[in-house]
Amino acid sequence: MKIAITGASGRMGRTLIEAVLHSPDLKLTAALDVSASGCVGKDAGELVGIPCGVKVALDARSAAPADCLVDFTRPEGTLAHLEQCVDSGTRMVIGTTGFTAEQKGLIADAAKRIAIVFAPNMAIGVNAAFRLAEVAARILGDGYDVEIIEAHHRHKVDAPSGTALKLGEVVAAALGRSFEDCAVYGRVGVTGERDAKTIAIHAVRGGDMVGDHTVMFAGMGERVEITVRSQSRLTYALGALRACRFLKGKPSGLYDMQDVLGLR
């Protein structure tokens, strides 16, 4: 299966390139990046110490064709790549976060023409945590207060993380609540007594933390916590490549990691 990687010189891009080059059933045919990266025209494999003969290009139109393009960049870049994929009929795996509701609508519209896996987190363990949080919420019900804490490296530009927001949506749905109505983002000042229906999200940024997420169900006399800690970006890369394999032969449509993992 032929794979294209965007943001080739970035932390996630390099991890994806290395993972593809070590996968015997996958072939890196294109690597994309912006001109400011300084790596356009260079061998993409050299970014990870494994020369492969694939030159970094500016966009998909100037690169070799691929069966699937993997994008972990920024919303604006992802949407530009999305347009190119729709034009060429290339399937797409999107791990970018920070989209507005309108931008998510553009992705949904594109999925009417190509097959897309779009998920806030591609790591297998994190997606297991989504399901565990749903089950816990159904069992514990309204008698437990829900707090979500996420921590990422100092370079992450959006907060809270897409994963934390997804956890909030999953728990809210299991409890029969509207996440939009009950979400609270951090607290400051005299906030008064906690609203029992609140689902609060707290974001931590610092150092080189890859990504930690905890859903806390705090009841009277006990606390249940579901925590997943990503120690390497490789977990995201391996999940994204699993999504690529899932898309092989799939018709147009919008899928997520729950579909990839057979959890629907």
Active site residues: 152, 156
Extended strands (E) in the chain: 2-5, 27-32, 56-57, 68-71, 91-94, 115-118, 145-152, 183-185, 199-205, 211-218, 223-230, 253-255
Cβ atoms of 6 and 32 closer than 8 Å: yes
Separation CA 113–CA 90 (nearest Å): 10
**Residues 260, 242: Cα–Cα separation, whole Å:** 7
Question: What is the CA angle 99-103-10, rounded to 5?
Answer: 45
In order, the DSSP letters of 236-255 are HHHHHHHHHHHHTTPPSEEE
* Residues contacting residue 125 through CB under 8 Å, at least 6 positions apart: 228, 230, 235
Q: Note whether 40 and 32 are within 8 A (CB).
A: no
- The structure tokens listed for 190 are 């005299």
CA within 13 Å, CB half, 101: 1
The partner residues of 3 in beta bridges, in order of sequence, read 28, 68
